[in-house]
Structure 1
Amino acid sequence: MSIPVPKSVLVIGGGPTGLVSLRNMIERGRFERVSLYERRDDVGGVWYFEDSDKPEDPLHPRWPSPAYKGLIGNVLPSFLSYSEFPFPEPPSTPHQPSPTLVETHQYLQAFAEPYIKSGAIKLNREVVSVEELGDGKGWKVVARDWTDNGKEIEELWDAVVIAIGWYDTPYWPETEGLEVLKTHGLAKHAKWWRGPQPYAGQKVLVVGNANSSNDIAAQLAPVTDGPVYQSIRRTALYTYPSLPNERIHFVAPVSKYTLKKTDKGYKFDALLTDGTTLSDLDSVQIGTGYRLIPNFLRVLDHSPEAREGALKPINDETVEPHRIPELHRLILYARNPSLGFVGAPLAFTPFTIADIASTWLAFAWLGETPYPDTVERRLIFEQERLEAIEKWRSGFENPSSLWVFSILGPTEQEYAYNLRKDIVVARPALDDILPLWNDERTAVRKAMYQKKFEALQYSKNLKDRAANGTAAGSQRGKERMRRYNVYL
């Protein structure tokens, strides 16, 4: 099944992947009608922080991101820069070269501004249903307009780009007793982390060993009762830099949680896989990541037992290995190429990967970049990737969590390089515009994690000097400390 060139394209999601997808559909695709729907009242996705403690408003629901005050990224500006729109150098360079939450949000707002003014971006527009129509007739989209009390709008679109990101559906480990802790409010996912203050004086366990878990543990360490326990399966990869901290004690994975009632309320014990028990804990913070599940999307069911025209969700929690299934090149839905995903794989450099992927998708829909002309041939990419990952993982007793289907990991350079090559064949002028993927750039990318580590060390030294009185009396010193995510 091939498709005619779409006349209308809808992009769903106003985060980093959606914004660059919109730009590339408009400026490089030049389709007749292109819009982006974002359910929140501003662009930015995960980088748009809003206070989650605000009271709920039934006439204007809210979807807070998992961002938190003081968040500083791990990625250098050159790897956050969309083509033809460079990211400004942070004012704290060189001591803190990675942009803050606020700086990243401001960059995305500036990028989106002309499209908001033109009406191409529609804020407060929540997509609640996307259904595939038969016979190549496009997609029926139902959205709620929260500028008009949630009024429902039904439309038809020729093509749809799903760019909603990974932060809607938290992944919880299937550990015995964890559900009980959740019902009593003792287990929280990193999605809802907003700072350490509520846990002052408590005994806290953190599960996970990536960026969120490391940040949470580091923020908890100065305020908790005794050490912060951090449960890990393997030593952290260099891509997740963190400082050693004598108040953070690494412990084995948890095999069971046991709730108990005391005269001071509920507490719990955590039995570890090495036989150790952590007793009388007050809270566990879960930093085990997310699942990408666009639960508003339903596609035609092609299974033999399905009735004609029946629809089904494109994926759910049961899909293993977790992924959006049946995507050619992790972008194009094999059974109906008028559906595309940007941001389906997690990447080291998601902004630039989204830029190249959405450009490739626009050109695929225009017929300028080739893709296989049958469903069976389009499914080969997924099958070969599944086989390659399974073969690689089978060679290790404890393989890296970065080498799974939904994470580009060590294949990122090759993946992006090949997309870029297709694009440049179609339009050679873009060769001087698009970001590069080669050995030299990958080496620069790998080196930025050491820069992050050095920035963390600088922040710690700044805090130590303030604690010793050398900077505490200076308003400038206090402002610098706030800048480096130090809790005063």
Structure 2
Amino acid sequence: MQDTQDVPNPRPKRILVVGGGVSGLVTLRNLRERGEFAQVQLVERRDDIGGVWYLDDNRSGSSPSPRWPSPAYPGLIGNVLPEFLSFSGAPPFPEPLSAPTGQPFPSLSETHAYLRQFAAPLLPQIRLNIEVLAAEELSAQGGWRVRMREWRDGEPTEVEEIWDAVVIAVASYDHPVFPDTRGIPQLRELGLAPHSQGWRGPNGYEGKRVLVVGNANSGNDMAAQLAPLARAVYQSIRRPNFPGFPSLSDPRITRVVPIEEYVVRTVGGRNTVDARLADSTVIRDLDVVLFGTGYQPFPDFVRVLQAQPGQTPLLSPLVTLHTNRIPELHRYTLYARNPTLAFVGTAVASYTPFTIADMCSTWLTLAWAGEIAYPTTVQGLLEFEAERLAAVAAGRAEMEAASAGDTGQEASSLASYGVLGPFEEAYAAGLRAEVVEARPDLGAILHVWDPERTAVREGMFDTKRKALELAREQDAERESAANN
């Protein structure tokens, strides 16, 4: 298929949203309330909405569908302030119960409650216990064949539906990423290498020697929670994180350089792990290695028509396990070769995912409604991706040059195409300007991206750090009182 092929802006009438988390819910709302489409529905494979914010560890087992547990854990506290969790045109996110004590970030349960309240008017358009098996492109932009497995009364039934357009609004938590370090396959086979995907808190790690790999949210949270209980906690860091990332130093956590090899030894009938570091140091007799090494965007059920010149197009996965991003997207949203396929909250991570999903899906709604124009050739639609990839490459080169003197350090893995980072303001403000030009009335309710609000967003890092420091002080006071 040639990049100069004409792809006129489509005007779909029947739209299916896949995924009932943050991105899917706000997309459903915006398509229904800000567009005029004949039919819009959302399907979710679990038995409740909320996505990552729906923790079902203690559910009764009454749901007929299989379980897809959230990677969240009891006691999780977010790192985004309520004002950036509030959807446009909806009631604001309530003040967290902990706010008067100096903890301004909401809990897992508070966030899920807000999403359930937001979703209440949308329930007639939401179908639960439905797993999407495949979303397959039809020829000549004839829509999408969506094959699904519906769970009712404990029995699965496969159904097939045709939709004009599909929005993929699923997160990447089904596909945890592990490094390619020697020895990891054996660790995983023996159950010695759990991923943060299954982390449910530090209970059970008392007296253990633990190595945590990674220094983003998951790695830092696991190390901090293990420190008071474990016999020893090491944290391996391959790359520096973004400046200001909220993480407290702790004398009980020993930070080490990257791992080059893991070796399993059996001592007294018990498996232990030795970790050889890049500086030749060896950490011996580890009980477990915990990986907080992120996830891969991998909606493998999306299949598009692809062909070499002169050949008949065949259905192929849009992404593979060797793809580190969702390719060929205009504005991280529209599939360039067929703009009746869109992604919201799947292809890119941001400081404020609630408001970014709100903004992207509002833009998408007006684009599909014919109120916002965008390029009408594949080449034009691919220009955004090319520009972003070039900008990311330049940014990574700059970061690597700045850290050239740090042994074993590379540019942060968060400096990638799939992370907005410093580009968030320009990206979201550009979408907002096009939306407001088409619908001036939305200007009064949409979130704003400008230098002042960006400073507030980036300031959340410092706010989170202070909240962590306060929590540590409060824990110390409680421990002291209990010992007296």
Q: Scaled by the length of structure 2, what TM-score is found?
A: 0.93
Match of 1:115 among 118, 122, 125: 122
Q: Is the 8 A contact 1:69 1:195 kept in 2?
A: yes
Once the two structures are TM-superposed, the CA of residue 380 in structure 1 deviates from its matched residue by 1.0
Q: Which residue of 2 aligns with 1:370?
A: 373
Match of 1:314 among 318, 334, 338: 318
Once the two structures are TM-superposed, the CA of residue 56 in structure 1 deviates from its matched residue by 11
**Are 2:330 and 1:328 aligned?**
yes
The residue type equivalent to 1:335 in the other structure is R
Structure 2 unmatched ranges of 5 or more: 1-6, 401-409
Task: Judge which range, 419-428 or 261-270, deviates more.
Answer: 261-270
Q: Deviations over 1:88-139 (max 9, x none)?
A: 11122141101110000000011111111xx201111111111000011100
Q: Which residue of 1 aligns with 2:404?
A: none
Q: What is the distance in 2 between the residues matched to 1:237 and 1:157? A: 41
Q: What is the distance in 2 between the residues matched to 1:210 and 1:40? A: 27
Once the two structures are TM-superposed, the CA of residue 3 in structure 1 deviates from its matched residue by 4.5
Q: Is the 8 A contact 2:78 2:105 kept in 1?
A: yes
Count of residue correspondences: 465
SS in structure 1 of the partner of residue 266 of structure 2: strand
Q: Which residue of 2 aligns with 1:452?
A: 464
Q: What is the distance in 1 between the residues matched to 2:468 and 2:398? A: 35
Aligned-pair Cα RMSD in Å: 1.8
**Are 2:297 and 1:292 aligned?**
yes
Correspondence 1:64-75 to 2 at 5 A: 64-75=69-80
Correspondence 1:63-102 to 2 at 5 A: 63-85=68-90, 86-94=92-100, 95-102=102-109
Q: What is the distance in 1 between the residues matched to 2:245 and 2:160? A: 44
Q: Deviations over 1:347-401 (max 9, x none)?
A: 1100000000001111111111111011111111111111221122223323233
Task: Judge which range, 47-56 or 175-184, deviates more.
Answer: 47-56
Q: What is the distance in 1 between the residues matched to 2:85 and 2:214? A: 26
Q: What is the distance in 2 between the residues matched to 1:396 and 1:197? A: 38
SS in structure 2 of the partner of residue 442 of structure 1: helix
Q: Is the 8 A contact 1:47 1:65 kept in 2?
A: yes
Once the two structures are TM-superposed, the CA of residue 236 in structure 1 deviates from its matched residue by 4.1
SS in structure 1 of the partner of residue 389 of structure 2: helix
Q: Which residue of 2 aligns with 1:170?
A: 176
Q: Which residue of 2 aligns with 1:483?
A: none
Q: Is the 8 A contact 1:3 1:136 kept in 2?
A: no
The residue type equivalent to 2:368 in the other structure is W
Q: Which residue of 2 aligns with 1:273?
A: 278
Q: Is the 8 A contact 1:52 1:64 kept in 2?
A: no
Q: Deviations over 1:126-184 (max 9, x none)?
A: 11111000011100001111125221111000000000012111011111000100000
**Are 2:260 and 1:231 aligned?**
no
Stretches of 4+ aligned residues off by more than 4 angstroms? 52-57
Structure 1 unmatched ranges of 5 or more: 474-488
Task: Judge which range, 231-240 or 8-17, deviates more.
Answer: 231-240
Q: Is the 8 A contact 1:115 1:121 kept in 2?
A: yes
Give the direction of change, closer, same or farther, for the CA distance of 1:199–1:52 in structure 2 (3 Å limit). Answer: farther
Q: Is the 8 A contact 2:318 2:327 kept in 1?
A: yes
SS in structure 2 of the partner of residue 198 of structure 1: coil
Q: Is the 8 A contact 1:238 1:449 kept in 2?
A: no
Match of 2:267 among 254, 258, 262: 262
Q: Scaled by the length of structure 1, what TM-score is found?
A: 0.92
Task: Judge which range, 275-284 or 383-392, deviates more.
Answer: 383-392
Give the direction of change, closer, same or farther, for the CA distance of 1:394–1:4 in structure 2 (3 Å limit). Answer: closer
Q: Is the 8 A contact 2:16 2:165 kept in 1?
A: yes
Q: What is the distance in 1 between the residues matched to 2:424 and 2:151? A: 38
Q: Which residue of 2 aligns with 1:337?
A: 339
Q: Is the 8 A contact 2:212 2:290 kept in 1?
A: yes
Once the two structures are TM-superposed, the CA of residue 238 in structure 1 deviates from its matched residue by 4.3
The residue type equivalent to 1:180 in the other structure is Q
SS in structure 2 of the partner of residue 467 of structure 1: helix
The residue type equivalent to 1:195 in the other structure is G
Q: What is the distance in 1 between the residues matched to 2:109 and 2:269? A: 40
